[in-house]
Amino acid sequence: VNAEIIAVGSEMLTPSKLDTNSLFLTARLNELGVEVQAKSIVGDDPHLLTAAIRIALDRSEIVILSGGLGPTMDDLTREAASAATSRPLEFHGEILRLIEARFRRMNRTPTENNRKQAEILEGAEILVNPNGTAPGQWIEASGRVLMLLPGPPREIEPMFVDQCLPRLRALLPPVVIRTLFWRITGLGESQVDALVAPVYSRYSNPVTTILASLGDIQLHLRAHAATAAEADALLDPVAREMEPLLGDHLYSKEGLSLEEVIAQRLVERGETLAVAESVTGGMVSTRLTAVPGASRWFAGSMTAYTEGAKVRPLGVDPEILQLHSAVSGPVAEQMATRARVLLDADWGIATTGFAGPEGGDPDSPVGTVFLASSHPSRETQALKVRFLGDRERVRQLSTQAALDLLRRQLA
Ligand code: ATP
């Protein structure tokens, strides 16, 4: 079943106001197995709005309008819906009395305009609005549903949950939604999409969504079916085909963050971790210690920012520092090993680099970062990476890459 949402109101066509109602509605609809196939924002223009409603009813089984039910001249949703459906508006005295009672409770008197809000499309069911004046309307005809709902979130949200969802559930076949939450790092959004699109584009159920944030991609696979087993059976072949394409960039199939994956692995292995940070200035440790129960596996960290701090107390060999400079592979390796030894941990990880905007050298321009992990049973070898972007971006990507380096070592 497909739905379409129309947000009504010219203010949402300005730079200062967003249509958030459609996000709320989409989340609730998806839970019923209904996909939103189109949404639009239409300004306060009767012709545009009538046309938009006609088009929506033509192609979507469920059409939801939010906003434009107020009492003023530019609240046009009722009139436009009436024109688009060829259903006349009927005045309901009992609604006006409810509106008048509400105004009395607020010690105000309704204006002549409020009469408009008591006009209901012929054949519509009235959706009461305990949080505002304008009632909503539910129109069901020839297998389609049209809803006229108020604009303010505090009015539309309870109205939708309490009055529209039960009606929709009664109309729709029972549905179970199963979602896979995958997390990926080390690839850009377009790279992930290029890898998996040949698979997911062949399916409309499950639906695939790719969400990207700095250095981290979430891939959601959502299937709906009559039972959980059927939904899983829909997910299974798609997941099995996609998984090898992502290789070891896919770091969690349960929606866990990198630091949560690291925490799990360290607890499983009964090992502990120490951190030495230069370019990331504590960001790696901040993410790690955000995981509840970190004291079981996080020994501690040191932000060794200056050369002096790297030598003492951390204990990097001053000769190595002189020979290779503070931003170098050998120094990153020593930082990781020294953090591990100093804090008596099983693992050590370290970051050192040029976040910019100033600094860098010909071999290692701004954005160059060395990462290292150290463990007594493994060779310590630094990883050199180069990130583009401003200081904050370089620091965040370095943090992510340091955590990913350790995650790979723990795999
Ligand atoms: P009212 O009964 O309060 O007059 P209405 O149905 O006429 O409600 P609008 O006048 O269109 O609603 O909008 C009222 C307020 O609701 C807007 O100022 C805005 O803050 C909020 N609003 C409207 N539409 C949306 C939307 N799609 N997303 C988020 N907020 C919205």
pLDDT tens column, 167-191: 999 999 888 999 999 999 999 999 9
User: According to the model, what pLDDT value does residue 250 have?
Assistant: 98
Find the mean pLDDT for residues 199-224.
95
The percentage of residues in the chain with a pLDDT greater than 70, rounded to a whole number, is: 100
Q: Evaluate: CB of 69 within 6 angstroms of ligand 1.
A: yes
pLDDT tens column, 243-256: 999 999 999 999 99
Find the mean pLDDT for residues 112-123.
92
Ligand 1: centre distance to CA 124 (Å): 21
Atom of ligand 1 nearest to the CA of 71: 4
Return the residue whose CA atom lies nearest to atom 21 of ligand 1: 152
Ligand 1: centre distance to CA 12 (Å): 9
pLDDT tens column, 76-113: 999 999 999 999 999 999 999 999 998 999 899 888 88
User: According to the model, what pLDDT value does residue 1 have?
Assistant: 86
pLDDT tens column, 127-172: 999 999 989 999 998 889 999 999 999 999 999 999 999 999 999 9
CA dihedral 246, 249, 250, 256 (to 10 degrees): -160
User: According to the model, what pLDDT value does residue 109 have?
Assistant: 85
User: According to the model, what pLDDT value does residue 114 have?
Assistant: 87
Q: Within a 10 A sphere around the Cβ of 142, how many other Cβ atoms? A: 5
Ligand 1: centre distance to CA 52 (Å): 18
Question: 152 with 8: CB under 8 angstroms?
Answer: no
Ligand 1: centre distance to CA 17 (Å): 10
Ligand 1: centre distance to CA 152 (Å): 4
Rounded to the nearest 5 degrees, what angle is found at the Cα of 58, between the Cα atoms of 145 and 50? 85
Residue from 22, 42, 66 to probe ligand 1 pocket by mutation (most atoms less than 8 Å from CB)? 66
Instruction: Indicate whether 5 pLDDT > 90.
Output: yes
User: What are residue 16's phi and psi, to 5 degrees?
Assistant: -105, -5
Rounded to the nearest 5 degrees, what angle is found at the Cα of 80, between the Cα atoms of 15 and 125? 110
Return the residue whose CA atom lies nearest to atom 18 of ligand 1: 152
Residue from 17, 23, 78 to probe ligand 1 pocket by mutation (most atoms less than 8 Å from CB)? 17
Q: Evaluate: CB of 20 within 6 angstroms of ligand 1.
A: yes
Ligand 1: centre distance to CA 56 (Å): 20
Q: Evaluate: CB of 21 within 6 angstroms of ligand 1.
A: yes
Q: Evaluate: CB of 206 within 6 angstroms of ligand 1.
A: no
Atom of ligand 1 nearest to the CA of 132: 2
Q: Evaluate: CB of 7 within 6 angstroms of ligand 1.
A: yes
Return the closest-CA partner of residue 409 out of 273, 257, 219.
273
Q: Which runs of E-coded beta strand occur in 173-321?
A: 176-185, 207-213, 216-225, 250-252, 273-277, 298-303
Ligand 1: centre distance to CA 156 (Å): 9
Instruction: Indicate whether 33 pLDDT > 90.
Output: no
Share the mean pLDDT of the chain: 96
Check the CA dihedral 71-74-75-76 and report its sign. Answer: positive
**What pTM, to 2 d.p., does this model score?**
0.78
Rounded to the nearest 5 degrees, what angle is found at the Cα of 378, between the Cα atoms of 372 and 379? 60
Question: 234 with 205: CB under 8 angstroms?
Answer: yes
| DSSP string across 35-101 | EEEEEEEE-S-HHHHHHHHHHHHHH-SEEEEES--SSSTT--HHHHHHHHHT--EEE-HHHHHHHHH
Q: Evaluate: CB of 259 within 6 angstroms of ligand 1.
A: no
The confidence band for 55, taking pLDDT boundaries of 50, 70 and 90, is very high
Q: Evaluate: CB of 70 within 6 angstroms of ligand 1.
A: yes
Q: Evaluate: CB of 135 within 6 angstroms of ligand 1.
A: no
Ligand 1: centre distance to CA 144 (Å): 24
Return the residue whose CA atom lies nearest to atom 23 of ligand 1: 151
Ligand 1: centre distance to CA 149 (Å): 10
